[in-house]
Amino acid sequence: MSARDTAALRKMLHPRALVTGVSNGRTRVFGGPEWIKSVAGSSDVLRERIWNPRVEIAGDIATLWARYDFHLGERFSHCGTDAFQFIRNESGWQLLAITFTVQKEGCEPAKRP
């Protein structure tokens, strides 16, 4: 994400992927192309760090669940939980859904640098 490599993001996301953010009881849902456009258009360096990921794989589906923190440049923005849903198809492993929570307070320190 920090590299803003839109070609890599398009390859990684399934064409019908959804990105959903939940914050303070409000839900925002983006299509994959819309989310990629927002990442590419940011004027700040976007830096997301995850730690202690839990991964479950069953055949051609997989889930990754992890805590994260997010920075705009060097400035802390928020933390939360990421839940990624993957499918394996003729293109390999692709993200079908990204769901995340947004917390502005009560964030635990990152478990790694």
What is the CATH classification number for the domain harbouring 56?
3.10.450.50
Query: Is 66 within the bounds of a domain?
Result: yes
- DSSP 8-state secondary structure symbol assigned to residue 10: H
Q: pLDDT tens across 37-67, in order?
A: 777 666 677 888 999 999 999 999 999 999 9
Q: pLDDT tens across 3-30, in order?
A: 556 787 888 899 999 999 999 999 999 9
Q: How many domains does the chain have?
A: 1
Range of the domain at 34: 6-101
Helix (H) or strand (E) holding 50, with range, is strand 46-58
Residue 33 has pLDDT above 90, yes or no: no
Question: Shortest CA distance to 104 belongs to which of 13, 1, 19, 23?
Answer: 23
